[in-house]
Structure 1
């Protein structure tokens, strides 16, 4: 028990007793603490009521003001500190520990235990009495916070000396008892082992064990030599099989790349010489790898393709390589791994095509390949080694895709949000959207608004309609924008009636302008910043 804690607490309490709350006091309440406590409780009851619940008469404004000034905010805070001190005293009151059963101890350790336990209990009783006296004085201070003459005594050091020395003596006796009990069990175990060895030696002597052992040892030498010969032959067979099967060599190269890509060696490709095919195994169990994750499947596919690029002495410098969405399903960790592997293997390709739907991967590829355009020729003209395009597909039948130079919003900005904002802004003054444009505008509008509104209203995250209702205060406009976005970004039903064109004409009229007006209304600073950023890129 730490005496210093109680000494410091006594000092803090005495300092607290000398304090008082700042208020405009009422003498009658100061002279009558019990009435003061009663009125304090009543004042809380009458917080929003000017009629006295006791007598039924009206409480005057002057009286309420005087009482509130008496029980000021600092008065309440001071009372809270006093109540916290009460809780500390209650929580530090000590209960007597359970008595030790003397019958459970060895006799030499049982002596003096009752006497030591009595000393511990007496010390605890003295300490609790001191705490009880503190509690009484603290109660007086709570009843009359303006009394600054109250004082408490610090517990005697003899209490802690007796408590700590007696408790330590008891613990030493218990430890000595436990050590003896543990060593006793060890002695029993040693005796049992000696008996076992004795009976075993007699059995060995009676059964001619030595002769049998010598005979067995004489056979071990030729067995060991045969084992070494078998091991040597197996190694030669394995080497010959590896030389005869390029598949094994390919599997080793594949596994090395796959393990570095995934950052672990839990999956491996192994060539089955019997079935003449590959098996995907879980390591170290060497069991067929079932239920591969999408990330593992895509990793295997990508590494297989990259490994095949270097087979049959293919020269990458004379190869045209095409990747279609190499990171469509990877997590962020494998996104960088895929980019690193692809860049390492295809850096020197004669021509490289990268197709992706992932803006994050596009940024990595753009920064890598765009850096190749920084070199200049002898005339200080840029040497163009990489170009960036976008593919626009129409929804009209027959469906047609067109290849266009990538807009500056893709090549200059580092976020998908900038790209969506810039693309939608092109339709700012479009009065009516066509059928095919409506679908793309609806999808981009939903992404843009979800990103913007989730930032503005974080507590509505996950519910797009709720975000719209919070942001757009005009119900009609809110409903029109939401229905347009919801219809053309989630439409899974083909409509065969003749009203589709009319619906689009009515539903899409200046829809993009309305969206941008709401963004500007909600955050003019953000809107101005985006306009400035776009203007700088097009300058």
Structure 2
């Protein structure tokens, strides 16, 4: 079916050409070229009439398509709307000129019956607008006959969504990814990406990084990327024992993780003994001074000695030591302290 925009453009161009010719005929009245201009005018009018008929045919075909698929499309849109926001519903679809106008119900109250009755820009929340837009897009994809051959790209689909809508969107996109030939999801929300990748087999996670005055894609460990606090520090320690380190910068990062890990476990387990503004040296003081009734009493002896050794070792490479960047790090020694640290957090 010819494109309606092309037909409209042709009609407009022909109308402008006819207008120009008419002006030229007036200027050249009773001259030798008047008849030639009139002949060209007649031909242009005939061509324009043909394009007007073609445009009318296309518009009628579009009307038939709206009538044929409109109900099916509305049903699909409302199916997704009911998941994102059951308070919104489309009840009618009309063609108004070159626009499709949707009748919208909000809480079963008719809120929009034509394109000028109400502005959705000022009457819906950002989450509701996103729900509508995403529902339209998902409905269009659902009605495609060859989705298995399609490449689908979603760019940050969670804009302004609350937790419930986020979870629904994740499930819908998971199913869509399984059906399509190739699926791309772009998002700034790392936790959403983690949830999505966790449900899709053979999912490749990439990250855009700035390098040498340009951006490029690199493989990204989304599990590590979304870790925080103690979990991330423990991961760094375990990774060092498994794969080692290739630079002093990596080794210093390993040393940096040891004290926060022990402090974090201490605060979680002995929350009623230590305070948030106390650190590992303070915890050692508590152990050393506690009586037999204290829950810390069982940490006296070898556990206390090991924690104290780790604390003194970490101090050497702490920024409070003016020469900490000059202190050499030995892998064998660091490996022993990391191993001791991981054992201690199990004993705390």
Answer 1 or 2: which has greater helix percent: 1
TM range (shorter): 0.3 to 0.5
Of structures 1 and 2, the larger Rg is shown by: 1
TM-score by length of 2: 0.45
TM-score by length of 1: 0.32
